[in-house]
Structure 1
Amino acid sequence: MITGTSSTGTIDDAELSGRDMTPARRIMARADELARHSAMDGGIERVYLSPEHAEVDALAADWMREAGLATRQDASGARVGRLEGSRPGLPALILGSHLDTVPDAGRYDGPLGVLLAIEVARRIRESGRTLPFALETYAFAEEEGVRFGATLLCSRALAGTWTEDLWDLRDADGVSLRQAFTSFGLDPARVGEAARFTADPGDSEAGEKGVVGYLEAHIEQGPLLEAADRPLGVVTTIAGARRMDITVTGEARHAGGTPYPRRRDALVGAAEAVVAIERIGRDRDVIATVGRLHVEPGGVNVVPGQVVFSLDLRAETDEKRDAAWEEIRATMTEICTRRGLELGVDQFHEARSVTCAPWLADAVAAGIRTATGSDEEPMRIWSRAGHDAMAVADMCDIAMMFIRCHDGISHAPDESVLEADVAVALDAYEAAVWKLADQYGA
C-alpha cells in the first residue's frame, strides 16, 4: 500500500521506494494556488469566461511555458501547450482536463489532470528523447456547465460539435454566451477554428490540426479505488445520462374534508414512484437519482395536486440505462393508474455513453503496472460522472486514468488526494505516453 496525506501533511518517503516527490509536491502546491482564484468567499468557484477563468488561464500559460511548451489560447478559451515531436508539425497526442469548477468545489476535480499533463510534458522534454507525435496539454475552461447550463463547451469546440444554438444561452444575470465571448476577448465567428480531427502520427498532410488520441487523468469521484486499496485505475466507459422532469398530476382538495378513497394525492404517488426508482436502480446496477421535487399548491392543509420531480439516470451502457428507464416508466404508469393520477415526462438531456479505446486504455494499464512495479492487472472502473473525454470522443479515440480520492468525495470542499498517489499517477501517465510512442515507433 502507498501511504501519504493531502498537501497539508507529510508522507513516508521510505514507503515510496525512493520515488522523486518534487513534481508531486509542485502539483499539490499549484492546486492550492489555483484554489485561491475564486469568485466565492471562503470557497472555490470558477466559471467560464469570468475574471477567475482569465486568472487561472494566465497561470496555466506560465506553467506550460516554464515546462518548455509553446502555448496559446484556442478559439473557445481553452489553454493549449505544445511540445513538438521528432519533427515539427506532427499530429498530437492530447493530455487534458479542466480548470472550471462547480460552486463550493474541491481543488482537484479537473485541475489535477491539467497539472499532471504539464508535468508529463516537462519530463518528456527533459528526457532528451523525442516522440513520434507532438504532445499537447489542454486546460479546458468549461466542463461543469455552471454558468450557461451547457456542459463540455471547450471540449465540444475541440471536437467540432459546437452548435449555433449555444450562442443564445444566458447566465443568471442575463448575459448571453455570445456577449460573454466578446467581453472575454474571443471572437464568436472564429470558434470553429478550435476544431481538430483524427490523424495518424506520421501524416504529413494533417499537420498541427491532426490528433492521434486523447488521454485524461482525473480523480475517481467515487470510493472504489480506496476500498480496493489501489492508487490508480483504468476507465472502461463513461456513463451515458438521461435527465428528465416527471410530472404527477392529481387533484388539489381540502385536506380535512377529503376522505382517503376520494383523494388523488400527487405527492403520495410521486413518493411511491421515487422509492420504486431507487429499487430499480439498485436491482439493475444503474444510477437513478431524484435530485429535486416541487409540490403544488404547497399548502399544509391541502392535498397536493401536482408534483414535478427530476430524474438523473446513468449506467455503464446506454442499453442498461434505457432498459432501466423502460421499467421505471412502466412502474410509474402502474402507480399513477392505480391512484387515479396523470403522468407526464419531459426529457431535457441525453448523452450517449462512451467506451474508452482498448489500445489507449491498455497503454494506461501498462503505465500503471510500470509505476506501481506490479504485474497485477490494474482495476477497471466505469465512470459514473461525465468528463471532457466524452466530448472529445466525437473527434478521436480516448482513454482515462482515475486517481484515488478520499472517501470518493468530490464537488465539495473536503475533496482530497494523497501526494503519494499523485507521484505514482505522474509516473504512470508518463509511462503510458512512452508506451504509445513505442507502439508508433514499431
Structure 2
Amino acid sequence: MTRKLFGTDGVRGEANSWPMTAEMALKLGAAAGRYFRRDAGNGHRVVIGKDTRLSGYMLENALTAGLTSTGMNVLLLGPVPTPAVGYLTRSMRADLGIMISASHNPAKDNGIKFFGPDGFKLSDEAEAEIEAIVAGEIRPAQPHNIGRAKRIDDGVGRYVEYAKTTFPARDRLSGLKVVVDCANGAAYKAAPEVLWELGCEVIPVGVTPNGHNINDHCGSTHPAAASEAVLRHGADLGISLDGDADRVMILDERGQVADGDQIMALFARRWAEEGKLRGGALVATVMSNLGLERFLAGRGLRLERTKVGDRYVVERMREGGFNLGGEQSGHIVMTDYATTGDGLMAGLQFLAAMAESGQPASELTQQFETVPQLLKNVRYAAGQEPLSTENVRKVIAEAEARLAGQGRLLIRKSGTEPLIRVMAECEDAALLSDTVDGIVAAVEAAA
C-alpha cells in the first residue's frame, strides 16, 4: 500500500499548507481513532503531546475533534518531549499516542507522529492503513459514544520522575556545571529540572519559547549557542537538544561538538565491557561514519545499518533483540529505557560515564578517528524529480566509479523536507570535495 501523507517520521509540512492543515489533522485524528478502536465501547484513550510551535494549538484542537468524533477519549499533555509521549502512552494504558512536532525543523513547519499502545512508533504498514482510512469515508461514533477530552497537568512531572530513574543511583553529579540547550522547544521545563534535581549546577539556554523561536539559532542543529555558553560559564559539559528533545549533541568543556556517532561509540564500548550490550551490535543508519564501523569491528562488535530514520533503527533493534542504536544526527535509542530516541536520557548516560570514569568530556567524546565525510543538501521544487534526469544519473555513476575502493557515496531524498542529500566519505579530501560538489552542481542544474 503506497503512502503519500506519511514520510520517514509521520506527517510533516508547513503549517496551514497541505498536509499540515486543521482539516487534514481532523481527518487524521478521526482515521487514527477508527483504526485503533477495537470495539464499539467508549473506553479507548489517546495521549497527545506537542512542542512549542504556535501551530500546535490549531493541530491539537483539530486532532482532538477528529479523535473524539470516533469515540476516543483524549488526554492532553501540553508541551512535552517526544519520548515522553512514548513513555506515557504505555504508562497511561493508552491505545494511541500522538506527538505534534516537526522536530528540528523551523517554527513555520509542524508534524504529527503516531505511537502504538506499546509506546513505539507505528510501522509503515499501520501508517498506510490509516492513510487509506483518511482517503475513504470515516464512520463517526454514535452520539452516546463520542469521546471526552481532558488536560493532564502533571505529564511533564511524570516524565521527569521517570527520566531520573534511568540515571545510576550510585552516581552523584554534585559539583558538575552543565549547560542544557532546550532549543526553545518541548524540553524547556523537563531537562533543566531533571539535571538540577540530580545535583548539577544548570545553565539553561533556549528555555523561553514564544511559539516562533523553536530551533532558532539554538538546539542540536545550531550547537554554537550551547558551545558559547559552555565557554562563557566554564561548564564541564553541554547538552544540546532539538525542538522535541529526541536528539542530542554533546559539547565538551572546550565547546567542541560530539555527534551521535561518537556518543553511540562510547555507549557501545562501555555497555560491551559491562556485559550490557545485547547481540554484540549497535544499530545505526547508512549515514553513520565509516570510522564508527571500524571502531566497533576492532572490539569484536558489529554495526548493523538501516535506512535513514530512527523508526527504522528501532524496527531493526526490535527484530534482532538489540538494545542500543541511533543516528549520527543525535537520535540515541536505548530500549532498556525508552521506545524512541531520547536526548535527555542520552545526556544522563553520558554524565554517568563522566561520573564513573572520572574523565572529562573531551576524553569521552573522542572514541574514534572519523573518516572525512561531506554532506550537502540541495533544495528542489515540489513535483520535480532531479535524481531521475539522465545527466544526474550519469554524474552519480561516474562518482561511484571514482570512489570505488576508496570510500562510499550516499544520495537520498529527505523524508521530511524537499531536499536531496548528497553524502560521501573518502580519505582523500580533494576527491571527496570534487565528488560531492560535482553531484550537487548536477542536481542543482536539474532542480
The verdict on a shared fold, with TM-score over 0.5 as the criterion, is no
Higher relative contact order (CA 8 A, sep 6+): 1
**Higher gyration radius (CA):** 1
TM-score normalised over the length of structure 2? 0.27
